[in-house]
Structure 1
Amino acid sequence: MIHNRTRPDRGRSVLGPALQLVHTGRAPTRAVLTAELGVTRATAGAVAAELQGLGLITVDSRPAGSAAGSQGRPSHRLAVEPNGPVVLAAQVHADGFRAALVSLGGTIVATTPGCGDVDADPVHVLRAVVEEGAGLLRRTGRRCVGAGLAVPSAVAEPEGTALNPLHVPWPPGAPVRAVFSQCLAEAGISGPEPGSIAVGHAANDVNLGALAEHRHGAGRGAQHLLCVATGHRGVGGALVLDGRLHAGSSGLALEVGHLTVDPQGRPCHCGGRGCLDVETDPLALLEAAGREAGPEVSLLDQARDLLRTAHPGDPAVREAVHRLIDRLGLGLAGLVNILNPDRIILGGLHRELLRADEERLRAVVAERSLWGRSGAVPVLACTLDHNSLVGAAEMAWQPVLDDPLLLQEA
């Protein structure tokens, strides 16, 4: 290991970037790591060895085979340590909550089934979330190095308050970050430094889903990535610019759910009419198809089941899908005109609508966007299951990604 004070400054300064490259799959071999970091082969080897010593990555001593006809020595394989530490990730939504343990690489190691009953007191809900996560940690025996929370609301910075959680019964301005941290402390959930208690991180669920997709999913490699998604209720958006999540001056950017797509449409919770939030979410699909939403299964699952079992054979369902696709396409076109992304990814029910009639959605976006006819923006489905959970984990992992030596024993 090379974490003593005599280690060259250059090697120390690239430890975090090296871990991020392995974490996101961009450095599968030591040769690639050397090139990406711009260091000598010896320095890259020392850095990889240190990350291995910290229990974060594996370095395969059997070199990866080179392609036929290639020159040079085959390189060692690098991968995330499969039995390494994890973070506790949680998501609260209109139909309940879920807790999970997530390792480096965005891999969900263990998860609870979805739990219901989000009541009006965020303390009750977040305490239950943390208790579920603590149970996962006990059962798996994994070391926890942080915790992150995804919520269906804009989260103001730096206060960490959920400003307007329309789809859960919490009061406006609920101090979700402080409450989450308090619950973690009560449960003794550990943080990255040995002997420390985890500090809770909290952010908007769609923002976190976009971050996860950019690092591990359909958004990988995009420079200007727009994500639009509908989960259990409502619609959210997120923008990743030059690899960084754009949250605005105080964490409130990209509230795309309140973009008007039908001035004569449904009344919205915000006081307007015809917003994406109420024109393209699961409840909108069920009602447009003449189906009554039931209480026993989440709205998102009900909408997915309807698409799977009745589309395109049922005319009412087919017409409802067309209606939602047209509204969604109109909203996406407006966002393309303003933001000029190089890729759009769709999550939740929007992902299912894209798969149901990809040609129609692309045509609406192309027709209504300024540049659509000359160079259509790719519109892709999100590829990660539970991407908001993975994004919550990314927040919790970030201190370690910035400084892996936090995990070092004194």
Structure 2
Amino acid sequence: MTLSFPAPFLQFLQDNHIDPAIYAKTPSLPRYVRIIRPADASPDQLIAELAADAHCPVHAIPGLPGFLLISDSSVKLKQLRAYARGAITGMDVSSGIAALALEVRPGDNVLDLCCAPGAKLLLLAEHLQGKGSVTGVDIAEHRMAICRSLVKKHAGDDKIRIRLFVSDGTSFDEYAPRLGWDDPQTVKEAGRQSGGARPWFASKMLAAGFAGSGTELYDRVLVDAECTHDGSLVHVAKYQHWGFERLADQVTNDADHVPLLQSQLLENAWRLLRPGGSLVYSTCSLSRRQNEAVVGGFLSRHSDAVLLPIPALSSIAVSPIWSPHAFDDDRIRRLFDRMHHAVRLDPLVSNTSGMFIARIQKPPTPSNECLEQEIVPLDI
């Protein structure tokens, strides 16, 4: 597959050390799907059915339960019976790894700060097994409508505790829902006492009172931040029809301001995360300014933040993070030493779309050292 990109986009790739060859991978990249739980058939039965419908081999992915690889990337989901009845949904493995990196447990209060169109939010909700809550935030109402439809189609709003807010993730300030899920009297009292903004949407399991916010911070926070999407091969391929000049204009314009937005999203996520909790910062960009520079700037403001290893990577090859060739600045070298658990999923190496993932833990007793510091990405 030969793509002819405009000079400004090629310059963006060069400035960020992104190999243009990744886009030639698009036709051979597998299609990934995820089994929606509770499943209506065993994995082996679904694999056999999907292989028959897709007319190509379908495989389970070791270490990633519920994810399946359809070897022919041209297969359309709508031609699959399992998709039509809501047994599977399309989701690239790279996105799944970002969500699974949170290691959500039943009972957690989870915040998805950039939740639309909702695939990761749905996966997080499933892992709660009906206990705890997921709060989704997105600034665009039309995208949030897609998220709501996905929740209703695959989960049913009577089975999961989800509330959605149309809000700016950089300033969102609603705490987790009130406690006492399983006590009817508590539900009744919460209806009288709940505070905070009214959600744009709340599932039936979040009774009117519980849709209101309590005083607790979140156990887990996902920041799948807005980015230039240059690592998403499917996204870039769409511009074959729309024109790559349009892609170049969008990417180069967004590249100037997106790192600051991402830094602000990450900072607000940290503020809403409880002591001892963990968050995941991810993008589908391979730009160093949107990834290592954002996380590096964050670490420079929070000396007590600790990056943790990314789970669910046993069967997926990863690339190391980008780093300067020479660490003339000891401060920069120390920041990158703290960043070594972050990973890049590169299409040429991982056989997935491009993704950057960093998992960060908040200490039990965090400091307030950031209060007087400017929230900006690292200048690298």
TM-score (ref. length: structure 2) = 0.32
Higher Cα radius of gyration: 1
